[in-house]
Structure 1
Amino acid sequence: MRGERAEEIVQEKPKAAKNAKTPAIKSSVTLSHPDKLLWPREKISKSGLLDHYRLVWPRMEPFVVERPLALVRAPDGVEGERFFQKHASPGMSDHIHRATDPEDGEEILYIKDFDGLAALVQIGVVEVHVWGATIDRIDTPDQIVFDLDPDEGIGSDRVRDAALDIRARLDELSLPAFVKTSGGKGYHVVVPLKPKAGWSEVKGFAHDFAQAMEQAAPERFTATLSKKAREGRIFIDYLRNGRGSTTVAPYSSRAKKGATVAMPVRWDEVEAGVAPDAFPLGGRATLRRLAQDDPWADFFSRGKLLDRK
């Protein structure tokens, strides 16, 4: 799959999902205008997006239910107006639940089941972003995210090598590492945690880790957000680990060219050259990946306590 990119992959109808041995997932939510194209160039409709989520739901569910959400909406498709939403809007479905953040009293959106995800599709949500914690343990994250964000002009080979180097360093710290394609230009390296450490401790660890990577190879990495600091380098985005920050959910669609998906993969697939944007909605590469075993099936069972001693 080396160099395989979304725009080079022929898309198929998700009816091929049968090859992925996934049971039919039913929903009580009825889509209005199901043929409305959310990705006009790729001809992906609301119903096509929902078909994708039916296919991936058994794998996606533990990463999106009962978690605070942030939504990217494109009611008129990704070529129209897009906006970020964290709070309820008038007429929003009851399948999209509301809670109150105990820290600041702000409203939080979350879903409990597939009907909730279908309700998001109904209102034109094209990206689902999640906190690294659940509603019931909102102050103790269950994951650390390192989002690799390359400067313009940096090839996917360098980003891939960066992901592998981060995994090696995490392995030295006896921390398990999982990886997913971002659907854009990078990869997300994710460490499962037993939810005990607080946000400040988790973010502090992520920051120190990113700085250590920069110090070891300053010509390759930066832990600084500024555009100037990124020149010719890869930003290891540790800021995803702050309270209230979000990361695109595993298996979520992306509002990008090619109608790509943020796809969990195996590390050997990264080593073999899988591109960050290799998996389009309904594409052959996507269906082949989903026909294989779930590479994140043991994610939460492998969670570690964060010990900074």
Structure 2
Amino acid sequence: MTCQIVQIEEKEVRLTNLEKEMWPDGYTKADLIKYYVDMSPYILPYIKNRLFIMSRYPDGITGKMFYQKDAPEYTPEWVQTYPLVSERENKVVNYIVCDDLPTLVWLANQACIELHIWMAQKERLDYPDIVVFDLDPFPPATFKDTLDVAMLVKEALDRFGLQGYPKTSGSTGLHIFLPVRPEFTYAQVREGVRFLFEHIHAVYPEKTTLERSIDKRAGKVYLDYGQNTRGHTMTFHYSLRPHPGAPVSTPLTWDEVRAGDIEPEDFNIKTIFPRIKKVGDLYRPILHQEQSFAGLLTLVT
């Protein structure tokens, strides 16, 4: 077992099992850590002040994984945590808040492949500042079908003067992030997304579904508004995913969505850095763009 201690921003971070294979493609934990170090300028600004849920793959993506909300007892004292009472578990959960590079590296060393993040900042946990439109295709529906549905979401948002930002989920689907002012609760936001999705389903029923039963979604793109729920997390942009090829949840341009000639596997640990060099950080505007959901919610009964 390899083990080394590195100094990052005046903090000691212990790295272990660097040779551990995390993806069957041959990518190791060392590759995982290096990815997040190199990608940190494009990740940290978005996830700071947000609660982080660890999704750990100690034996790589072919082994068992587990989710961990509570910071483990051995968490370094310099890792920021946020205590939150969990009514379901009847205890205080100390969530990790990843605000700096040492914490991000420490999390990667815990075999946290993915970035599962709350949609609200910790100062206003009940009021999300990101609304998500989650589109999931169920075979034989294709990613191209998902891109077509995404354009309908864009058209609907355009009518309300709202600007959404599409990205691959890193799996088979597509997410559209909508930055908003944190002025409405999760329940209110969820109803707004449901309202738009119901109208989209009404105009394109042959390829979309709101069906909650998984076995009734075949051949359709599932319009999932339920992710806009307090305590739920989303895979944030530039997160690696636990699938062969080490795919990355990647921001897209609307021109790319409209053209429809891309596939999720086009964006991975090898291709993401040349892409950013070419197109830049497409999500950068959401850091400062506050939009109001009020206009849409006035139509929700």
Q: Partner of 2:20 in structure 1?
A: 36
Tell whether the 8 Å contact from 1:183 to 1:278 is kept in structure 2 after alignment: no
Which deviations, in whole Å up to 9, do the C-alpha atoms of 1:80-138 show, x marking residues without a partner? Answer: 11112212233233354332226746413322211111111111111121110111121
Q: 1:269, 1:53 → 2: CA distance?
A: 26
Q: How does 1:39-54 map to 2 (within 5 A)?
A: 39=23, 41-54=24-37
Give the AA of the match of 1:148. L
The yes-or-no answer on 1:289 pairing with 2:272 is: no
Q: Partner of 2:45 in structure 1?
A: 62
Give the AA of the match of 2:272. T
Q: Partner of 2:267 in structure 1?
A: 279
Which deviations, in whole Å up to 9, do the C-alpha atoms of 1:118-172 show, x marking residues without a partner? Answer: 1111111111211101111211111110111111221221111111221111111
Which one of the candidate residues 67, 92, 99 is aligned to 2:82? 99
Q: 2:92, 2:176 → 1: CA distance?
A: 29
Which one of the candidate residues 206, 231, 237 is aligned to 1:219? 206
The structural deviation recorded for 1:55 is 2.2
Which deviations, in whole Å up to 9, do the C-alpha atoms of 1:185-240 show, x marking residues without a partner? Answer: 11101111011111111111112222221122222111232113312211111111
Tell whether the 8 Å contact from 2:36 to 2:108 is kept in structure 1 after alignment: no
Q: 1:237, 1:71 → 2: CA distance?
A: 23
Q: Partner of 1:9 in structure 2?
A: none
Q: 1:224, 1:106 → 2: CA distance?
A: 35
The structural deviation recorded for 1:300 is 2.8
Q: How does 1:1-309 map to 2 (within 5 A)?
A: 26=8, 28=11, 29-39=13-23, 41-101=24-84, 104=87, 106-107=92-93, 108-272=95-259, 273-281=261-269, 283=270, 285-291=271-277, 292-307=279-294, 308-309=297-298
SS state at 1:254 partner: coil
Residues 303, 36 of structure 1: alpha-carbon distance in 2 compared, 3 angstrom cutoff:
same
Tell whether the 8 Å contact from 1:176 to 1:302 is kept in structure 2 after alignment: no
Give the AA of the match of 2:266. A
SS state at 1:34 partner: coil
Q: Percent of counterpart pairs with the same letter?
A: 28
Q: 1:158, 1:95 → 2: CA distance?
A: 46
Q: Partner of 1:16 in structure 2?
A: none
SS state at 2:114 partner: strand
Tell whether the 8 Å contact from 1:131 to 1:244 is kept in structure 2 after alignment: yes
Give the AA of the match of 2:48. V
* Pairs aligned (count): 282
The structural deviation recorded for 1:54 is 2.0
Residues 103, 87 of structure 1: alpha-carbon distance in 2 compared, 3 angstrom cutoff:
closer
The structural deviation recorded for 1:276 is 2.1
Tell whether the 8 Å contact from 2:21 to 2:29 is kept in structure 1 after alignment: yes
Q: Partner of 2:4 in structure 1?
A: none
The structural deviation recorded for 1:262 is 0.7
Tell whether the 8 Å contact from 1:193 to 1:305 is kept in structure 2 after alignment: yes
**RMSD (Å), alpha carbons:** 1.9
SS state at 1:148 partner: strand
TM-score of the aligned structures, taking structure 1 as reference length: 0.85
Q: 2:163, 2:98 → 1: CA distance?
A: 28
The structural deviation recorded for 1:254 is 0.5
Give the AA of the match of 2:274. R
